[in-house]
Amino acid sequence: MRWVLHVDLDQFLAAVEILRRPELRGRPVVVGGDGDPTKRGVVSTASYEAREYGVHSGIPLRLAARRCPEAVFLPVDRETYEAVSAEVMTVLREFGVVEVLGWDEAFVELTNDDAPESTARRIQHRVRARTQLDCSVGIGQNRLHAKLATGYGKPAGVFRLTYQTWFDVLGDQPTDAVWGIGRKTATKLAALGITTVRELAAADPGELAATFGPRTGPWLVQIGQGRAGSRVSGEPHQARSHGREVTFQEDITDWEEVREQVARLAGRVAEDVADTGRPVVRIVVKVRYAPFFTYTHGVTMPEPGTSAGAIEQAASAALEKFTDRRPVRLLGVRAELARPSSLR
């Protein structure tokens, strides 16, 4: 029997900071930006105590401070998180093939294991012994099952999701409860009368192909049924994109300056991708207007490549798709890379 485990470190960044500052245990802790909630920035991670006040990843630091004035705000310490993450991944490789998804999560593939819950608990024990961190483990018959199961096991628990239990657990959930379906896709599905996972699983792939395309439409039905064919890959993680963004402490009202900032970001992105050996196929520009409305536009590169000039030109073309000239508080440029041939 082949099982896939999804290991997710609980409140990772906050947990690492609490280990360094034991006096913060039990207090609301928020990690984000440079740790100054009077500046613009977003929450990277909030401790469970902070989440009780409605503080969660992605919201502005200033909003987090209003919701939880007594929270302790700390800056992001990338190097420390990377070092702790590397220790965790070393532990996981003792149990099977590991596919790293980020600092705080990975898939582990088990073979010839008829007691995956027992293995999951041994993983939790080993991770805690090595790092003093807790993790939740989802168990499934594929990556999709395991990823979704983790959410039902949090915090520090274990949960199994299989083909047999898929609809019992998820059948009546909204479609965006499934990993891979976002809010926009769920809205389009709702317009077709599909609002639950069970309804998505029963949908006609051909009809969805007419709305979402010949590949995406049938794929949506497939994941609605809990089916996913990709195997866990032990190859080194390769980013699918490289991006840069900047939050301005004062809104930019001059769009000539906006163009200059986008060109500058595009140049930095070009430097980032130059050493990857993988051509850029698409450029996406993100604009966050004041107070906090975010939109994106992208363009496909005429020819895949890593030329700084071509990347800047594509970023400029994507920016011109924004017709609203309201004040801007954040800009971002992301380069989507050609997928390595080893990826499915």
- Which residues are identified as catalytic? 105
Q: Cis before residue 214, ω within 30 degrees of 0?
A: no
Q: First and final CA of the chain: distance in angstroms?
A: 23
Nearest to 188 by CA among 162, 220, 163, 161: 220
Long-range contacts of 94-98 (CB under 8 A, 24+ apart): 94/126, 95/5, 95/119, 95/122, 95/123, 96/5, 97/232, 97/233, 97/234, 98/232, 98/234
As a whole number of angstroms, the distance between CA 235 and CA 312 comes to 31
Determine if residue 193 is left, alpha or beta; phi over 0 gives left, psi from -120 to 50 gives alpha, anything else beta. Answer: left
